[in-house]
A = this chain, B = another copy of it.
Amino acid sequence: MYENLSKNELSELKAELEIKYEALKAKGLNLDMSRGKPCKEQLDLSNAMLTMDLGGCKSESGFDCRNYGMPEGIPEAKSLFAALMGVSASRIILGGNASLQLIYDTIARARFLGVSEELAPWGEGAKFLCPVPGYDRHFTILEHFGIEMINIPLSENGPDMDLIEKLASEDERIKGVICVPMYSNPDGFTYSDETVRRFAAMKTAAEDFRIFWDNAYCIHHFSDSPARQLNIIDECKKGGNPDRAYVFASTSKVTFAGGGICAIASSPANIEHIRKQLSVQTIGFDKINQLRHAKFFVDYGGIIIHMKKHRKIIEPKFNIVCDMLEKELRPNSSTSDCSHGLGEWHKPRGGYFISFNGLPGTAKRTVELCSLAGVVLTGAGATFPYGRDPEDKNIRIAPTFPPVDELISAMEVFCASVKLASAEALLINKE
């Protein structure tokens, strides 16, 4: 335990750690673990989709997918997402290749035009509740539109619902919450049924309060006991707030990150409103790509089989990261509690990330040390609104993209950097 060392002992340790770090740095690595990108082998799983016979490009409705029309998407692709998202196809609108764009557009419309014809735009001074750590691109959208973000602590069962209920019920300028409810980015936590029910039923001061439920990893399991979650749309209806939730999903991490399809699901009233607004923006998204996806998977069962192939590729990478963290950073102790070493982490059961919490005040320095040694990580602070991690301790590790040998090299650098940054920080505290 570094914490129990004297100042002199720490100085000696730091000198040793520096030598080890410099040796790794001298390798001149050039590795990128900054984003949750699928690796080549994952992308290859869907290659057959690129050249498959599309049988005249007709949708099952007889519609020629090559032509204009069907702004809400073709029926067979809507059915696929209906199964994926647990709603009827009539409650789904398909988008382009990225759910982020649907999220952006939905927030933009609410902010400037209003969530329904009856309700005024959110306007200036709108605020959002943001479970943290969270997804940096969500926060960037909110900041872009001048929406004030309020940090809400997140733990294993979801965000602090006492705090969310209190704030949402008191302040009518609080217009929503944005989150990744299953295998959260970056922690990999799955919100409990109680959390979902409380979200759905809570009182909000704002009539136009909306939940942005980014279900990016709803089928991205790598455990024999995959997470299950109540359907937020159903629960909102039961809770007397049928129009509260917008749910998003995509195939970006199922087929191609650079050429997938995406969807928004919501209540009939919301979907009807969005359909009207969307028809101003486009005559329709890419229906040929929708058809490709529908023909490639055939049905929901086809997707599930496909996701098992992803698991085979990426689960070993998560194991490598967790094993190396365990070996390098867990203190020598007989307990299985990993919370008293140089950081906390846990192996998620799905999703794309491992969230590492180092000693307070070490995250920026750790990322800097990694970068100087040729390993690019997600910027420290990126998992918090405005890029400000109040304790400067959270680092998002994205293990999927690098090949296994590179991942091991990168994690060696990471662990060495954590140790050195920790020794430096503890030494300063002793002064």
Q: Which one of A37, A100, A137, A256 has the greatest number of beta carbons of chain B within 10 Å?
A: A256
Copies in the complex: 2
The yes or no answer to A54 lying at the interface (CB within 8 A) is: yes
Q: Mark A285-298, 1 if CB is under 8 A from B, else 0.
A: 11111000000000
Q: Are B66 and A285 in contact (CB under 8 A)?
A: no
A256 and B285 CA atoms in complex are apart in Å by: 12
A65 and B97 CA atoms in complex are apart in Å by: 13
| A-to-B contact residues, CB < 8 Å | 35, 37-38, 40, 43, 46, 50-54, 57, 64-70, 96-98, 100-101, 104-105, 108, 111-113, 137, 140-141, 144, 252, 256-259, 277, 280-289
Q: A96-B286, A108-B108, A285-B96 given as contacts; is B140 within 8 A of A256 (CB)?
A: no
CB-defined contacts of A46 to chain B, threshold 8 Å: 66
A-B contact pairs, 30 of them (CB 8 A): A35-B68, A37-B68, A38-B67, A43-B66, A43-B67, A50-B54, A50-B288, A51-B51, A51-B52, A64-B258, A65-B258, A67-B256, A67-B257, A96-B97, A96-B285, A97-B286, A98-B282, A98-B284, A100-B282, A101-B282, A108-B108, A141-B281, A144-B280, A256-B288, A257-B283, A258-B284, A258-B286, A259-B286, A259-B288, A286-B289
CB-defined contacts of A35 to chain B, threshold 8 Å: 68
Q: A68-B35, A259-B66 given as contacts; is B101 within 8 A of A281 (CB)?
A: yes
Interface of chain A: mostly helix, strand, loop or mixed? loop
Closest partner residue, chain B, to A56 (CB atom): B47
Closest partner residue, chain B, to A112 (CB atom): B112
CB-defined contacts of A286 to chain B, threshold 8 Å: 96-97, 258-259, 286, 289
Q: Which one of A51, A98, A113, A259 has the greatest number of beta carbons of chain B within 10 Å?
A: A259
CB-defined contacts of A65 to chain B, threshold 8 Å: 258-259
CB-defined contacts of A50 to chain B, threshold 8 Å: 54, 57, 288
Report the minimal beta-carbon distance from A379 to chain B, rounded to whole angstroms.
15
Q: Are A258 and B67 in contact (CB under 8 A)?
A: yes
Report the minimal beta-carbon distance from A307 to chain B, rounded to whole angstroms.
17
Closest partner residue, chain B, to A69 (CB atom): B258
A53 and B286 CA atoms in complex are apart in Å by: 20
Report the minimal beta-carbon distance from A264 to chain B, rounded to whole angstroms.
15
A169 and B46 CA atoms in complex are apart in Å by: 56
Q: Are A259 and B283 in contact (CB under 8 A)?
A: no
A57 and B289 CA atoms in complex are apart in Å by: 16
Q: Which 8 A-B pairs have the closest CB atoms?
A: A259-B288, A258-B287, A97-B286, A104-B281, A43-B66, A68-B257, A66-B256, A144-B280
Closest partner residue, chain B, to A259 (CB atom): B288
A287 and B96 CA atoms in complex are apart in Å by: 12
Q: A258-B286, A288-B259 given as contacts; is B64 within 8 A of A43 (CB)?
A: yes
